[in-house]
Amino acid sequence: MLFLKSDNIMNNVLGKKILNILRFLALPLFFIGFPLISYYYLKTGFNYQLSIIEEIEVKDSTSLDVLALFDPERKEILDNKVILACLTQEQQSLEEFLKLFRDSQKQFEDRNDLLFVVYANNFESMDRFAESVAALRRPDEVLTVQVDDKQFSDLRSQLKTEADKNLVLIDVDSKIRNYYNFKDKKDLSKLGGHIVKVFPFIKSPEFEYKPSSEK
């Protein structure tokens, strides 16, 4: 019995020592470890945001006249819009991209200043393409402009679009922010974040306090 009591006492003492050591270690872990972890995640987030800003630095500029092919009515539609200009002759691939674009429209439901402009050149069936557009969540966000070979070539040249790119992101000031290929998953993974950053800031309505007049 005496040995059992001694073992219990030793176990209790040992347990208290371990508990005190854990408490002693917990304090520096909390005051040093937690800030370090927080700093790591903040730094990672900051670097990510910085990389987006660098990726959408102004590459060049264009004009609404060029984008509208000098059509006054079309120019009015393009005014004050963030434009995603698409220059492709691959109708089938573009229709597949439209399915992804339809899903991405959920991300921008609170915006009405994004316009996807498709410069259609040598499409097999404009009727079929129109059906693909009509299936979108908001088909009015797509403007289809039929162009001939010369117009298509001139526009790609004016927008300085490289051969492996077919999407051009243009801000409301007609500044070219980036180029993409809608068949490149890496490009598409960046597109949503880039559009969000390019959107003009919407100022919240100011609250004006009007004291009630005393009667």
Residue 104 has a pLDDT of: 74
Q: What is the pTM of this model?
A: 0.72
Three-class SS state of 10: helix
Mean pLDDT of the chain: 80
- CATH says 60-198 is which class? alpha beta
Spatial separation of the C-alpha atoms in residues 14 and 22, rounded to whole Å = 12
- Of 81 and 41, the structure prediction assigns the larger pLDDT to 81
User: Residue 40 pLDDT > 50, yes or no?
Assistant: no
Closest C-alpha to 132, from 111, 121, 118, 122: 118
- Of 19 and 98, the structure prediction assigns the larger pLDDT to 98
Both structure tokens of 36: 């370090």
Instruction: Grade residue 97 by pLDDT with cuts at 50, 70 and 90.
Output: confident
H helix and E strand count, the chain = 8, 6
Q: Where are the domains of the chain?
A: 1-55, 60-198
